[in-house]
A and B are shown apart, each in its own frame.
Chain A
């Protein structure tokens, strides 16, 4: 099986849509200081202004520019999303691959830990811990990563187990290769498609979790976040402001998550040819 991952994803419709949406969000986030004319935290004008030439989406209850908040909120979402995606995946790889390759007692212990983590409802734990610690962004990333690796680790372990006995890995062993070499040169490259899917899952979940926590008001109150925006906007739902305060934040969050979903769908299709429509070229 030889898959050109990049090519396949680029050629699927959902893949293209997903990439386009994500790229848009990323570009806007990166260009936030250039596009947004106001500091998202500083009070820039009177409170609760309607949209105008200066403030495209008006201002919020403390006079911050909502459009700037929207742009900077994308940064928070993406930072947490990709941070947790990468860190969680690293944990998953570390435990999944090593459990499969080392086996024996080590495998047993790791898998029981995974089971334990999977039984605990992550959302509740995060809410409890976050409510108690009031985590900064970095701490939030760590917390979400620690709670998100077990699912991925289980998938990666299963896949590694099936790879472990495959011909080219047996062959590499007969050249005298050690576990590290085999993991690095053979297992990881072979796992790439699965790692990609796991990564996108992880990002999506983290984006959602961050927004959710902020919405519940448990996140870092100083952070600019779509969740916080929605949280604050809800308090003024009796005014007209929801139109340019609540809705844009909700739309931005939905778009980001939809983009990630499309992308992960495309990646899954690549992985499982049975999901492909029509004849395989």
Chain B
């Protein structure tokens, strides 16, 4: 019903939309999501032909090419067969007419109904969108923002359009009004096609059948709503979901590093992407379709950084790690949860090569790891449980942080020193001469662990294995270290294997949880699912035993 092909919109020299391809069929709701400034609204406006010149490509609406229609023909379609609910309510309503008149106006304008019939329908529509009957003859400025929004919706529905474009229809409403109006939109005419433009993932999740993710004027991912929201494959989509406060995900909110910049050569997202390879800077990726899902990424979406296949480690007859399979995506945190003695640390040490595996394979970035050479350790680093032990008592803060650079033979002494001091700042430690020459026994536990984290980061690794990094710290320091790790993940796109016995910590820091028991992984899945609906009795018992501020008797889980 609506078919957009290679749509390019520019204002002057600024290209706002760049090669958009979209299909929308009757009865379908497609959500366009993205940050502000990505061109979402422009997309809606260009379908209405409200963007002026600088529009190229093709917009085919029910067999008619909108971009070549004369203004006269377009006017017949606009507000009649295609209607739009604008985002900015203040400027749309005419301050000198009552709302009833305004809702009736398009019907009269398009000669669909007589004035009286139009008023009657307007009254009906306004009642339907939930405007109190006493406010029909009010002027726009006498209404609240939410009421104005309802009026706009009634206006858009007045001509019973075939295509309804909703630009942030619920954004200005409070939570209660929002779900009320969302219900209303859901129950609305099933034959109507809807294009929902929003930055609000909740609205998209509630209303849309499919979601298209827009970034920098390009579509980076399209797919079914559940698919996209639960299994995002483009780094931007995942980042967007991570930044969105909601009741489904349990990990602490994370922003997206940097800001959107334009114009950008190559992939529009590459300046903020954390898995960039050379080609990302040079060539924009094509949108590639695969089983109802499309993604525009040179790396085929979020890359798998580490995968472990049937990894085993035995000490004599004891199978400490028993045929473990797991994978970690770029920029993702996998929490490995289990009681002490379950083999978590052994697994970590086997992955990083402090133990020789008894069997199985480890793949890093798609290549099998056989000999862990210096190159491997530039990409994979580890933070140990006890910073007091993992830092040599003979090395000062600066010397400790410089050590990996020395081992790897990176740069000159001066460059190493500079890099080390930079990273010391990054982990929020003072960069003063006084501090960097302190020895571990002059530092607090939290400071020591920060030094250890700085030391692990100084080589700019891709994967960080954190083995109970907060086990020796009190709660307030622990919180700060966890925040630091999350921030580092946001800025550096670190992948993390986070080992903990505390599922309450895992819940806050991880995207996925793997539960380990007696050397095996017994359950694995997205953190929210493991927390909300654990499948294994053991996982449930871990949840029961986890920290809570409720009295024992009142705990919900049995």
Please list the residues of chain A having a beta carbon within 8 angstroms of any beta carbon in chain B.
Answer: 1-2, 166-168, 170-177, 181, 186, 189-190
Docked Cα-Cα span, A60 to B377, in Å, equals: 71
Interface residues of B in 312-357 (CB under 8 A from A): 349, 352-354
Docked Cα-Cα span, A186 to B395, in Å, equals: 10
Stretch of B42-50, B82-90, B290-298, B381-389 contacting A (4+ beta carbons < 8 Å) = B381-389
Stretch of B110-118, B156-164, B271-279, B403-411 contacting A (4+ beta carbons < 8 Å) = B403-411
**Least CB separation from A177: chain B residue:** B407
Chain A interface, >50% SS class: helix
Q: Are B407 and A172 in contact (CB under 8 A)?
A: yes
Q: Please, which residues of chain A bring their CB within 8 A of the CB of B373?
A: 176
Choose from B372, B380, B390, B439 the contact partner of A168 (Cβ within 8 Å).
B390
Q: Are B381 and A174 in contact (CB under 8 A)?
A: yes
| B26 CB-CB contact with A under 8 Å | no
Q: Are A171 and B407 in contact (CB under 8 A)?
A: no
Q: Are B382 and A171 in contact (CB under 8 A)?
A: yes
Please list the residues of chain B having a beta carbon within 8 angstroms of any beta carbon in chain A.
Answer: 349, 352-354, 372-378, 380-382, 384, 386, 388-395, 403-404, 407-408, 439-441, 452, 455, 459
Docked Cα-Cα span, A177 to B374, in Å, equals: 8
Q: Are A167 and B354 in contact (CB under 8 A)?
A: no
**Least CB separation from B388: chain A residue:** A167
29 intermolecular pairs with C-beta atoms under 8 Å apart:
A2-B439, A2-B440, A166-B389, A167-B384, A167-B389, A167-B390, A168-B389, A168-B391, A170-B349, A170-B354, A170-B384, A171-B390, A172-B403, A173-B353, A173-B354, A174-B352, A174-B354, A174-B381, A175-B403, A175-B404, A175-B407, A175-B408, A175-B459, A176-B375, A176-B376, A176-B404, A186-B392, A190-B392, A190-B394
Docked Cα-Cα span, A154 to B459, in Å, equals: 37
Docked Cα-Cα span, A107 to B393, in Å, equals: 28
**Least CB separation from B349: chain A residue:** A170
Docked Cα-Cα span, A181 to B439, in Å, equals: 21
Q: Are A181 and B407 in contact (CB under 8 A)?
A: yes
For residue A192, give the distance in angstroms from its CB to the closest CB of chain B. Answer: 9
Docked Cα-Cα span, A60 to B442, in Å, equals: 62
Docked Cα-Cα span, A150 to B377, in Å, equals: 37
Docked Cα-Cα span, A181 to B406, in Å, equals: 10
Choose from A2, A173, A177, A181 the contact partner of B393 (Cβ within 8 Å).
A2
Q: Please, which residues of chain B bring their CB within 8 A of the CB of A175?
A: 377, 381, 403-404, 407-408, 459
**Least CB separation from B465: chain A residue:** A174
Interface centre among A166, A174, A176, by most chain B C-beta atoms within 10 angstroms, is: A174
Q: Are A1 and B393 in contact (CB under 8 A)?
A: yes
Beyond A167-B386, A174-B382, whether A2 also contacts B441 by CB under 8 A is yes
